[in-house]
Structure 1
Amino acid sequence: MSGKKAGRRGKYEDWLDEDSLLKVQGWARDGLSNEQIAHNMGITFQTLYKWQDKYSELREALKKGKEVVDREVENAMLKRALGYDYEEVVQRPVVIDKETGETEMRVVQRVNKHVAPDVTAQIFWLKNRKPDEFRDKRDVELSGKVDLGSIIEKARGRADE
């Protein structure tokens, strides 16, 4: 194999084997954008987009990697929106040798703490999960007939009074 061929990047054949697909999936799971993944592969975003259409195994690797992170973020947002309790371990240095000044970290106490529900996370969640009920902009559709002539006549009559 020539040196040029061994060092080539950005050829679709190089990215369809199991190890390479696992690498792409890992990048997606790590939260890299498609632009960053394309850069790591040595191709343009447009090329990655075309390859996803053409090679289902590449498309699936990206999808699988992103699903994991999406679920983790979704779960974290729900937890934050609802509030949660956790235990905090407080450690403090304790002098164990007064002559040398040697200290040791010891658990002093365990404290139960509460994180209050986050209204911003709740709003974001509801606007995205139930947009018909919680979006800011509402589409209103009116039906029926409006007789503008009679409305104008009534308005003129009141103006003349």
Structure 2
Amino acid sequence: MENQSQRGTPTKYKPEYAAIARQYCLMGATDIDLGKQFGVSEKTINNWKKQYPDFLQSVKEGKLIADMNVAEAFYKRCIGFEHHEVTREGNAPFNPSTGGYDKALLSVTKVVTKYIPPDAGAALNWLKNRQPEHWRDKVHIDLAAEIDLTMNLGDSEG
């Protein structure tokens, strides 16, 4: 008698997929995107998450880290932030294969701290989601309407 586990199509899953999935999730990949990368359906990705704990953990970690980075960047946009702009100069030759200059041959000539002001749109979006009872768009719909109806209930000629 054939063993139950021997039936069906063999899995396409490989142990190295866990690390690859984590990297793709760090770049914002969804389960559908992972399926495309591995040549399988979203349903198969969900099955792999159930069958392979390492794969599930890698996907969760990648998505969590990506979400935290985006949340931090969005928060900075809401409140404003400072960043350092570095200017480098020197005689480095242009490298056509990289499309740039060799930074190792350039020296830092100045560092300027720039302030990026808060983005009101980002802040409002944040508040609408965090405190919808105070910040959601209020829409007033006037349901009152006038109806002019004339009815003739007399005998009709027939």
Q: TM-score range by the shorter chain?
A: 0.5 to 0.7
Bigger shift: 104-113 or 119-128?
104-113
Aligned residues with identical type, % of pairs: 26
Q: Which ranges of structure 2 fall in alignment gaps of 5 or more residues?
A: 1-8, 92-104, 140-158
The amino acid that maps onto 2:114 is K
Secondary structure of the residue aligned to 2:82 is strand
Bigger shift: 31-40 or 54-63?
54-63
The amino acid that maps onto 2:128 is K
Q: Which residue in 2 is equivalent to 1:11?
A: 11
Answering whether residue 118 of structure 2 is matched by residue 117 of structure 1, we say yes
Distance in 2 of aligned mates of 1:134 and 1:125: 9
Give deviations 1:23-56, integer Å, cap 9, x for gaps.
212211122222121011221123223443x336
Matches within 5 A, 1:48-127: 48-52=45-49, 54-55=50-51, 57=53, 58-91=55-88, 107-127=108-128
Distance in 2 of aligned mates of 1:70 and 1:40: 20
TM-score, scaled relative to structure 2: 0.60
Q: Which residue in 1 is equivalent to 2:154?
A: none
Distance in 2 of aligned mates of 1:79 and 1:28: 22
TM-score, scaled relative to structure 1: 0.59
Q: Which residue in 1 is equivalent to 2:151?
A: none
Q: Which residue in 2 is equivalent to 1:148?
A: none
Following superposition, the deviation at residue 137 of structure 1 comes to: 4.7
Distance in 2 of aligned mates of 1:65 and 1:10: 27
Whether the 8 Å CA contact 1:93–1:105 is kept in 2: the answer is yes
Following superposition, the deviation at residue 106 of structure 1 comes to: 5.7
Give deviations 1:77-123, integer Å, cap 9, x for gaps.
111111112232344569xxxxxxxxx96655433321101111111
Instruction: Give RMSD over aligned pairs.
Output: 3.0
Following superposition, the deviation at residue 76 of structure 1 comes to: 0.6
Bigger fraction of residues in helix: 1
Answering whether residue 44 of structure 2 is matched by residue 43 of structure 1, we say no
Whether the 8 Å CA contact 1:87–1:111 is kept in 2: the answer is yes
Secondary structure of the residue aligned to 1:36 is helix
